[in-house]
Structures are given as C-alpha cells and as structure tokens.
Amino acid sequence: MSKRQASEALDELSGLDSPASKKSRFDDYNKSLTPLSTIENGDDQQREPAPENGAGNGDRVEAEDYSEEEDEVEERAPIRQSAPTAGYDDLYLDTIDRNVLDFDFEKLCSVTLSNINVYACLVCGKYFQGRGPKSHAYFHALDEDHHVFINMSTQKVYVLPEGYEVKSKSLDDIKYVSDPRYTRQEVAEFDRKPRTSWTLAGKEYTPGFVGMNNIKENDYLNVVVQALSHVSPLRNYFLLEDFSAAPELVKRTSILFRKIWNPRAFKAHVSPHELLQEISLQSNKRFTLTTQSDPVDFLSWFLNHLHLGLGGSKTKPGSSVIQRIFQGKLKVESQAITARTDTQQDRLRFEEAADVKVDIARFLLLTLDLPPTPLFQDEQERNIIPQVPLTTLLAKYNGVTAQELNAQRRRYRLMHPLPPFLLLHIKRFSHNRFVAERNPTIVTFDARSSLDLAPFVEPPAEGGGQGAGGPIWYDLVANVVHEAVRAREDVADSAVGEERKTWKVQLRDKATGEWVVAQDLFVEKIRSELLYLGESYLQVWERRRGPGPGESEKGKGRG
C-alpha cells in the first residue's frame, strides 16, 4: 500500500512556533464553583490566572503564605485617626456611665500597677496604662467594647481603638470632678454665702461638709483632714495655688481639699485612699489604713511634713504657710527643786531655787492636762463623770501655775503675737508598761460665745500690740471627739469584748453659723449647746479680727 502524501511541506512550517497545549479544565471547574454574586461584582476579573503549565503544590503554598503575611501586616498597623469622622463627633459618648466613676483612688494601672501615663475607662471606671496599639487600654477597648478613656494627668479624652481626641462640652463635668479648679471669687464666697448642691442620685449636700470613706481603720485621719480643711487660710492656699511641681504629699493633700469643697460632685462623699497611700509610704507604714493611730500623733507628723514639703525651714520660724497659721511662742520658766531634811519636823521641805531659767519655745499645738479621775463614788453611790471648764485647763499657761517634772518646777506663759489659729490637745490617754488608761472627764465650753485668751498671755511691751488693754477673742472652728465603743462578743452566754476607739469631728459652717458632726460617711446637724457633751480631744480655735469698715463686731475669720 502506498504512503499518504503530506498536505504541506515541512520546510514551509519550520519557522512557526509549536502549538499551545490544551488548557486544563480544572480552572473552568473552579470558576463554575464561584458564587454568582462574586462574578457579578467583578471580583473574578481581578483574580490572577492560573499558571498555564499547571502550578505545583509548592506554588500554591507560596501563594497562601503570601496572603497570610498580608493579613499580619494589616494587624500590625491598625488604622489610627487624628480626628473623628465627619458627622460622628459624639460617637460612643452615650456609653459613658457617670455612676461608676470614682477618681478618689490611687491612679494605678489595674494590670501593671504602674502610675505612669494612666487612663481611666469612662464606661467601667477602671485604670489602664497607655493608649497605643499594644497598651492595656487598647486591648480593653477591643475586648470589652469600651471606647472612651480620659488621661488622668492632662484631662484629655480619647476614643480607642481609633485614637482621636474628643473635644465635647458634655465631658466638662467629668473633667471637673476628676480635677476641680476654683477662682478666687468662688473661694472667697465659701464662708459668706450658704450653698447647696445635689449629687447624680439627687441627694442634697453642702460643699465642704461631706462624708469621708473609712476604708478600714483610718477614721483618725478623716477627722484631722476634715478639721484642717476648714482652716480658712490653709484651705484657700491649697485650693488656689499650683502644686504641679510640689512633692507628692502636698499635691495629694491639695487634690483631697479641692474634692471636699467640690460643688459639682457626683457623690456626697470622698475617699482619702490616694493620700493615705502616700502617707503610708512617707511614714514607713507608721500611719496606715489598716491600723488605727492617734489623731494628735498624726496631726503633728502631718503638719511637720507639709511644712517641709512647702519649702519650710527647720530653723527659720514662719518659713511656710503652716507655721504662719499655727505657730506661736511660749515662755518657759524652769527652776531646780532642792530638798533638805527638817530635823524638828522630820519631813522634807522644798526650797525655792535662787536661779530661774527662762526659755522661749515655739509650738504648733498646746497640750492641756486633765485632772485625775475620782477613785470613789458619789453620795448616791453612782459613778460620776467629772467635768472641768476649758478655762481651768488653760490656767496651765497663766505663768503662775507650776508643774513639777523631773526634779524641776516649770511655769508656762503664752507670748505675743498669738497665731491666727490655735490647736488645743486635751490629753486623755496615758500609757505605761502595763496598762493604757483613758480619762473620761468632760471639758465644758460654750461654742456660742468666744474664748478670751488675754489672761494667759504675757502682757505686751510698752507701745501696745496685740491685745493691749483688751481681750483676745477666739472662736471654735472644729472639735474632734473621742467615743468609746465596746465590741460585743457572745461567749458562753456572756457578753464580752474589747473597748475600741472611734473618732468624729464637729465643724462650724461660717456661712450659716450652724454646726455639723461628721463621722465617716455620716454627716448630720447638731445643736451648738450640745457640743461639749462628748470627750473632746482636739480643738481648732480661730482668732477673731477686730471690727473693720462695713463689718460687724463678730467679723469673719482670718484669711
């Protein structure tokens, strides 16, 4: 059989390329599985064509790895906005819960316990550090869907995770509660005009007369801070001055004073937790919130450290506002006691020493000694509580009454000029090696009238001076009262328990003339004629200014 002839010569086809191989139907099969919506949107037009010669498994793995790397890059560089989107300025602001906000506690991150760059979540009230893409506040915003945060140092509000600042007038009340600021006109009206404010819950309260949280055993600190916050010149100083560069103790004291007098507070009480933490650190845990201490011991420590923190000197008197308000001078006369035996009477007889040593001492508070409690019952066979007038206790400083201590006889006399405010400590507790005793003697005084200290002051030199030829009047500002409470424990059908101390403070409202008693979170009014019935322990007296132009005889307090 003869061979079939070719239709075309091979020489003519030598310059042509070889025909393309047929495409695999695999691509067509994948295309048939593509959803119709994807094809309609034109997504498959953007799909890269499959390799003509058939890609191996390795090529597909590389493509998958590349897509995963793209996703990781997107996660590392989240979108951050410098300003809110147009028309969405108030986004997330409706999620803020003002009822849970409490800026009284120490500004520490709830995760790292760091106090650097702390933000507060305005939805749940927790503190977190930073607001960057890797910060705890950023993760909190993603995990809990809480988006509004405030910087506790700059008072700026941000939305996370977008990261832009919110500038809205609706947030001014939160910024004010976090860091209250006052003008001189507002501070000057605190003691002149009666004021009434309301909390978020509609509870009525008076600025400056709010409760303080007793976290465990810090009522001794509460009464001291409440009393000092009503010393007008000291209060005005801490409310108006800028303490951004001051030591932490001074800064936190100023913040607490400003929150006590806040007329736009969310709650009718404050917490001294932030100040307590700093005091515990500075005092090497001598004063803590878990152990009750003596208010006078704490007051002495507190005033001296505030004096040093405000730039005061240890040797130069009047070098800080603390000393200018409370420090006075005291003349101390001391003489040695000599004794010889009288052979006729067979007894010891004391002789007056020939030389008397006179010293001038400075004080921040005066100590008053109570007479010993009676050992026997009264005529009706009932235990009595003795009473003593305050002027009787002040006779210790008249320059005539002598006290014997360590083989020396001493006499005390106040000197001009008296300080604007007097701190009186009524000594009730005595401690020895075996037992601690409390003197329940009641100190009587009339809070409705003033106290004249002219009989206890050294007469001024010729030429007049303070109190020359007239009385020196002082008005009561605050009275810290001790109250003994017995904790009952029923053991074997008998009530036993230890006696514990509680402290409360009585404060005078200068704007209305009324008195208020504050014990931890409880604040209520009290009649002025009933103030002396408690066991007074610490009193703050303010020197009355003389009547000036347009002023009544009972002028307002100094400062």
Lookup result for tokens 């000029």: 417
Please indicate, yes or no, whether residues 170 and 258 belong to a single structural domain of this protein: no
Residue-level pLDDT at 372: 87
Q: What is the pLDDT of residues 192-226, one digit of tens each?
A: 999 999 999 999 999 999 999 999 999 999 999 99
Please indicate, yes or no, whether residues 288 and 409 belong to a single structural domain of this protein: no
Largest CA distance in the chain: 178
Please indicate, yes or no, whether residues 428 and 533 belong to a single structural domain of this protein: yes
* Residue 217 in domain: yes
Please indicate, yes or no, whether residues 355 and 435 belong to a single structural domain of this protein: yes
- β-pair partners for 415: 329
66, pLDDT greater than 80:
no
Please indicate, yes or no, whether residues 342 and 439 belong to a single structural domain of this protein: yes
Q: Is 249 helix (H, G, I), strand (E, B) or coil?
A: helix
Count of domains forming the chain: 3
**Long-range contacts at 277-280 (CB < 8 A, ≥ 24 apart):** 277/106, 278/248, 278/249, 278/252, 279/221, 279/249
Rounded to an integer, what is the distance from CA 173 to the centroid of its chain?
Answer: 19
Residue-level pLDDT at 5: 59
Please indicate, yes or no, whether residues 116 and 188 belong to a single structural domain of this protein: no
* Residue 55 in domain: no
Instruction: Work out the number of other CB atoms within 10 angstroms of the CB of residue 468.
Output: 14
Residue-level pLDDT at 225: 96
Considering the entire predicted model, what is its pTM? 0.78
Nearest to 526 by CA among 543, 541, 509: 509
CA distance 473 to 554: 10
Instruction: Work out the number of other CB atoms within 10 angstroms of the CB of residue 506.
Output: 26
Looking up residue 200, the CATH number of its domain turns out to be 3.90.70.10
Please indicate, yes or no, whether residues 97 and 196 belong to a single structural domain of this protein: no
Instruction: Work out the number of other CB atoms within 10 angstroms of the CB of residue 165.
Output: 14
Task: Please compute the mean of the pLDDT values over residues 401-413 and round it to a whole number.
Answer: 85
Task: Please compute the mean of the pLDDT values over residues 293-322 and round it to a whole number.
Answer: 93
- The secondary structure of residue 209, as a DSSP letter, is B
Residue ranges making up the domain that contains 140: 93-177
CA distance 319 to 324: 8
CA distance 376 to 555: 46
Please indicate, yes or no, whether residues 225 and 369 belong to a single structural domain of this protein: no
Q: Are 472 and 454 in contact (CB under 8 A)?
A: yes
Rounded to an integer, what is the distance from CA 352 to the centroid of its chain?
Answer: 54
Please indicate, yes or no, whether residues 336 and 276 belong to a single structural domain of this protein: no
Residue-level pLDDT at 237: 96
CA distance 149 to 141: 9
CA distance 386 to 443: 9
**Token pair in block for residue 180:** 């209250």
Please indicate, yes or no, whether residues 448 and 355 belong to a single structural domain of this protein: yes
Lowest mean pLDDT among 138-152, 212-226, 379-393: 379-393
Please indicate, yes or no, whether residues 354 and 500 belong to a single structural domain of this protein: yes
386, pLDDT greater than 80:
yes
Q: What is the pLDDT of residues 472-488, one digit of tens each?
A: 999 999 999 999 887 66
Q: Mean pLDDT, the chain, as a whole number?
A: 81
Position 210: which residue type? V
Please indicate, yes or no, whether residues 259 and 377 belong to a single structural domain of this protein: no
Lookup result for tokens 């910060």: 135
CA distance 540 to 230: 9
CA distance 537 to 503: 9
Q: Is 451 helix (H, G, I), strand (E, B) or coil?
A: strand
Q: Are 459 and 467 in contact (CB under 8 A)?
A: no
* Residue 516 in domain: yes
Looking up residue 106, the CATH number of its domain turns out to be 3.30.40.10
